[in-house]
Structure 1
């Protein structure tokens, strides 16, 4: 039996604003843009990991008013789960994302557990870490 991750949802306050970070700064490609009434779900991916997608949507998309309100509060507090990406050139990736105007939380550093990594906030306040495996 083989189990793989197909996609993960990222709750954002504004899908278009989030696209400037995930598509333009990180270089992910839009795979689908699915409207549904007042909402839409945008799936992004990368040729480096075919079949894996990140789905951007706002708190109330596909949720009850109460659940959407709760997600909006968590998003505003910046306490939703972080995303961790990997890069084969962390310093170049860091400079590209920083040049986009993203909020830098941590410049690239070597971590005691192995990888070199950095951290940003996306436009909605989600924490995004980017790591590079240690040299062999």
Structure 2
């Protein structure tokens, strides 16, 4: 069966500029997302996935006198429902869902991430913390949504 055109459009990715420097956690997330795109296009991923725009939170900064400056895009995202601590990846299946949070080798969850994890657990949504792209892929294999 041919890959639907809408999926080809959704999975398009042009790559990062060479000037963009990413850390170990983002490097693993990029490898994970690359595998997810390929698996979706090949029909091996039986789920819808997204990476919420958590990086917007990093745009908040301190201004003169220690005043917190929240850019308009961040304020709008929060107003529209961006939840502090949302997991890096959210997966929706026809009868279930799951969340995956990536952490670097020595990284730990923030209080907001712990709160989001607790909310997931209270709602019966599996929440996983992984430290590698392979770890995230294994969670999906174990859930039966990645072949």
TM-score where L is the length of structure 1: 0.31
Of Structure 1 and Structure 2, which has the larger fraction of its residues in helix?
Answer: 2
TM-score, with structure 2 as normaliser: 0.29
